[in-house]
Structure 1
Amino acid sequence: MPVRVVESAAPSQVSEGASSGNTGPPFCSLLSVGQTFSGTQNVSSQQNERDEAWKVNVCIQGCDLDHGYLCGTMEALNVPMADTPVVTFWEGEIVDNRNYTFFTGKWEATREDDIRHWTKFPSFAPLLSYVEADGGKSLDLSSSQYIFMRWKEQYFVNVGDDCGLTIAGFYYVCFSCVDGSINGFYYDPKSSPYQKLELKSTNYGGSGFIFPAYELQ
């Protein structure tokens, strides 16, 4: 993965303690408003427990690379305790070293939790030593084939909070600019560890599925 190292810039007052002067991930047409993805979330810590995998659809509703922000909906189709598909609205932080770094700094995630989850992505391996040193602030991510993010579900769209599910945690996400595939790991100290999210683009090349539209408040 071609990622350059740049001179560290003086820190500025931006969220998550990121520094200015670095170039974030490049624009990728596969990560833009209207893009849809489909796959599974394995809700068991045992990755071979396929019966514990929920079918998942994701649609990107907003994307602002300048501010390291994106948002969308996530639909889980075969949740055992729900009579209908469960839809949540989530907001994402793009690791760009301007707005957000690899260190989360909230949601009960320590730096050790961050490193432990990021290192589960093979594409993160070349970045590990830089992130351990300074949070990755010395990295220029503009030439990377991967975009690292965090997704935090904010609320349920079509069910109540008493549906039996929790959205207290968040996802560490790695997005491939080459084929639009998404891999993620859910983090919540009170849930099964390393629940894996695996999604593929469903409108790559201009075709794919159409997911239901939801009115967001």
Structure 2
Amino acid sequence: MPSRTSPPSCTLLSVGQAFVGTQNVDHSGAMKEERWTVHVRIQGCDLRHGTLCGSMEALNVPAAESSVVTFWEGEIIDNINHTFFTEDWANPDTDLKHWSRFPSFAPLREAVNRDGGKGIDLARHSHVYMRWKEKFFVNVGPDCGLTIAGFYYLCFSRVDGTIRGFYYDPNSSPYQQLELRATTEGRNGHSFGCYEFR
């Protein structure tokens, strides 16, 4: 079995980094698609233990009177601390269906299908795979019109700093797509809403 190391540090996947983009929600049957503006800020990142956390702000959500801010915790798929199989939140079939929606995952699929991809060294891969689970609402109550019962499958490109993801919750619209790009916000004098987590 090849030796495995944690993914090398990346300035675009570090504390303070901001991302901006959209989440598309297709309400099948309602012939209606919602597109929310989303801001993400990484608050913590520990590559050695394969964890990260941050805040996510969703704007222009029809059911909410204001923007909705959540705090999330994430797992970095490194085959040391976390594998492609979720275990707690989804089954292996659901995992494979979601990971397979990322083109960069195609060369890894067979190995992951066989044994979870435990033998794959992801340290030098062009993409970093993650799961983000929203833990609580920061600025609104749970009756804000959004749910945080599910979690995100995510693929971060080391090349251009983009993140593409899919939200999974068996009780919500399937394959809600999240698309984010890294910004220089907060790193050159711009500001981002600051929230204190207790």
Name the TM tier (shorter chain).
over 0.9
Spell out, residue by residue over 1:28-82, the C-alpha distance to the aligned partner (whole angstroms, 9 max, x if none). Answer: 1100000000000001167xx8951100000000000000000000000101111
- State the alpha-carbon separation in 1 of the partners of residues 32 and 70 from structure 2: 23
- Structure 2 length-normalised TM: 0.93
Is 1:149 aligned to residue 130 of structure 2?
yes
Structure 2 gap segments, 5+ residues each: none
2:173 is matched with which residue? 192
Is 1:42 aligned to residue 40 of structure 2?
no
Spell out, residue by residue over 1:88-139, the C-alpha distance to the aligned partner (whole angstroms, 9 max, x if none). Answer: 00000000011000000012x1100000000000000010011011111111
Partner residue of 1:140 out of 117, 121, 129: 121
Equivalent pairs counted in the alignment come to: 195
Higher helix content, 1 or 2 = 1
- Structure 1 length-normalised TM: 0.85
- State the alpha-carbon separation in 1 of the partners of residues 49 and 115 from structure 2: 21
2:43 is matched with which residue? 61
Higher strand content, 1 or 2 = 2
Q: What secondary structure does 2:70 align onto? A: strand
1:44 partner amino acid: D
- Rate the CA distance shift 1:50–1:65 in 2: closer, same or farther, 3 A: farther
- In the TM superposition, 1:6-155 aligns within 5 A as 7=1, 21-44=3-26, 52-107=34-89, 109-155=90-136
Q: Which runs of 4+ in 1 moved over 6 A?
A: none
Could you say what the CA RMSD is over the residues aligned between the two structures, in angstroms? 1.8
- Rate the CA distance shift 1:209–1:199 in 2: closer, same or farther, 3 A: farther
2:85 partner amino acid: F
Identity %: 62
Structure 1 gap segments, 5+ residues each: 1-6, 9-20
